[in-house]
Structures are given as structure tokens and as C-alpha cells.
Amino acid sequence: MPEGHTVHRLAAAFDRGFGGQRVRASSPQGRFSDAAQLDGAVLLGAEAVGKHLFLPFAPTADVDLDSPALRHVHVHLGLYGSWTFAGEPGFVDAHAIGAPRLRIGEQEEGLDESVDWRRIVPRETVRLRIVGPRGLADLTGPTACEVMDAEGRQSVLDRLGPDPLRPDPDGSARRRFVEKVRRSRTTIGALLMNQAVVAGIGNIYRAELLFRARLDPFVPGRDLTAGMCEEMWEDLVALMTYGARTGRIVTTQPEHRHIEARIVERSRGTRQNGDEDPDVVPREESFYVYHRQSLPCRLCGTTIRFGEIAARTVFWCPRCQTARSRRANWTRENPAAPWALAR
């Protein structure tokens, strides 16, 4: 499932490719009948909140964002959803965002780059196709794709915790996160995956954030100090900002990347945007504990463990992640703690 930084990159791609333009909308699959009411409307831009994407459609480009005439397409990609793009050069800087990595119209032998994007026939699995003056976007396999008004959009937002990638000039998002964690008996490993506590974190960020914080994933949230939670929030903002900028999750310091540069992948593998680029940090060098079960810790050599919290696999180092309470020796100045953000 795409994590929050991916959805923010998706929103930026829509804003660049379609923002303020009149578009055509259709549902080749036939399962999104509301596409007809969006056809010919202006797509004002895009908004990402955690793992949720909102596309605001209006009759004209000068409609206010709080107007009752506005209709929001709410999309949650889930495990299998993706957007794929095709268009003229410079339309968007990614050909696919989400689960699959195929381009529109791509078969095993590859996409014929000479094909005019206006003539590409949508696959029968496309839930929603949006076509603008410079390109198109196809949505396949989402968990949610629905049209809602401003009240419906707000009801989704009200269910979500703070998003580390949204502006927080007064620190209210950080305070909400700290309060939600510290008043809960639930383990910090489960809290970080709860979208009502913090929006946008998935399994990779959860595992890596806890390692960088030296926190045992099974410690209850109420046992953590405000300082611990604040430091976690700040590190999460930095990590996800890096992810939104590059399209990749990289949590390791450069000096640790070649130490035990291995990963225990599933048959499908841990895939990230840009894996085909030889200049990016490869995924086997990108993580400290995620999918490194049974391998030695990059820092201490202890075997990385894995278990289950709230029906999701959690990965941790039993030696490095020993902080279990507010009495633990947990300081950012700890010279062994891997705090420096990946470059």
C-alpha cells in the first residue's frame, strides 16, 4: 500500500498536469458511474491527506474551494490501486504511482513510445480516466473512488490524525500526535499504524522510525515522555519530506548502507519508484530493519526479529531498540543513535 509521501507526490503530479484545466472524465470499467457528472468540469488541483487523495472538480476555474458547487473525487489506493499517466513530454515526472509499475498501454514487451497518447485505448480494468489538454491519467484497483461534497470530505478528514507532510505553522499537529500517543495504553507499534493517530504512516515508516528512535515497538504509548514523542514526530516529518521529494523511503545513514546490504524480500519484492535508476540508493541499502528479519543489524550485529502487532508484521532489533519507558536512557545525543537523515 502506498504510504503518505507517495500520495503527496501523486497530488503534486495532478496539480502540475491538470490543475485549473477543463478535463474529460469517464469510467471504462463502468464501476464509477459518477464520472459522467464530472465530464467537462474543471479540475482545480489536488489535495493529499495521509493516504487519501481529493480531486476537486468545479464548473469553472474561479469557483471558491468552499463553494457548494464543488465536487471532490475521493480516492484511496489501498493495496492494489494505482494511477498511471501518459502525455506529452513534461506532462508529469512519473509514469505510474501506486501498486503496479506498468505504463498505460504497456505489455510485456514494453510501451511503444511512438504511440500518440490521445489514441491509447484504456484497459478494461480502468475505474476512472481523466483526460486533459496535455495528457491523461488512469486509475485502477482502488479501495475507494467516490464523489463527495465538502461535508463528506470533512468527515473523512475528521477521522484522520495529523499528517506530517501538511503545514503545521503553530505546532498543533505535533501536539495532537503527542497527546494521542501519550493517553493510550496501546503499543507504540500499533499506534503508529493507526491513521486516527497519525495519517500516512505505513509499515516501512513504522519499522524504521522506531529503530531510529531506539524504541521497543511493544512499549505502551502512555509510557513515553512528551520529549520522546516530539522527537519521533520531528524525525517522521524529515523522513517523509525526503520521501515526498525523492519518491523513495531511505532511512539509513550513508556510512551504514554497505554494512550487511541485504534484504529478505517476498516473492513480489519491496518496490519503490526509481528502482530502475542506477543512481538511487538501492532498496537493500535503504532500511535498517524493514524486511531484514534473520539478518544481522547494521549497527550491532544482533539478528533482526519480526512479529505481529494488530495483524501487521513488525520488524525490530532487540538490542538497539531497548527504550521501553520514560526512565530509559533515550536521548537524541546518544552517539550510537542513527539520527542523521539520509542524503
What's the rounded mean pLDDT across residues 26-54? Answer: 96
Q: What 3-state class would DSSP assign to 305?
A: strand
User: Is residue 7 over pLDDT 70?
Assistant: yes
What gap in Å lies between CA 26 and CA 207, rounded to an integer?
39
For 180, the grid coordinates are 494521542
pLDDT per residue over 113-169, tens digit each? 557 899 999 999 999 999 999 999 999 999 999 999 999 999 999 999 999 999 999
Per DSSP, what are the bridge partners of residue 97?
Answer: 83
pLDDT score, position 339: 43
What gap in Å lies between CA 33 and CA 28, rounded to an integer?
10
pLDDT score, position 327: 44
Pairing assessment for the beta strands 52-58 and 135-140 based on DSSP bridges: unpaired
Q: Edge-to-edge strands of the sheet including 135-140?
A: 24-26, 126-131, 135-140, 82-87, 96-98
For 137, phi then psi, to 5°, come to: -135, 135
* pTM of this structure: 0.89
Contact 79, 3 (CB under 8 A): no
Q: What 3-state class would DSSP assign to 12?
A: helix
| Domains of the chain and any CATH numbers | 4-158 (3.20.190.10), 172-316 (1.10.8.50)
What's the rounded mean pLDDT across residues 192-208? Answer: 97
Q: Assign 3-class secondary structure to 106-154.
A: CCCCCCCCCCCHHHCCCCCCEEEEEECCCEEEEEECCCEEEEECHHHHH
Average pLDDT value for the chain? 88
Q: Which residue numbers are catalytic?
A: 2-3, 51, 312
pLDDT per residue over 242-292, tens digit each? 999 999 999 999 999 999 999 998 755 666 666 666 678 999 999 999 999
User: Is residue 336 over pLDDT 60?
Assistant: no
Contact 272, 247 (CB under 8 A): yes
**Residue 217: alpha-carbon gap to chain centroid:** 21
What gap in Å lies between CA 143 and CA 145, rounded to an integer?
7
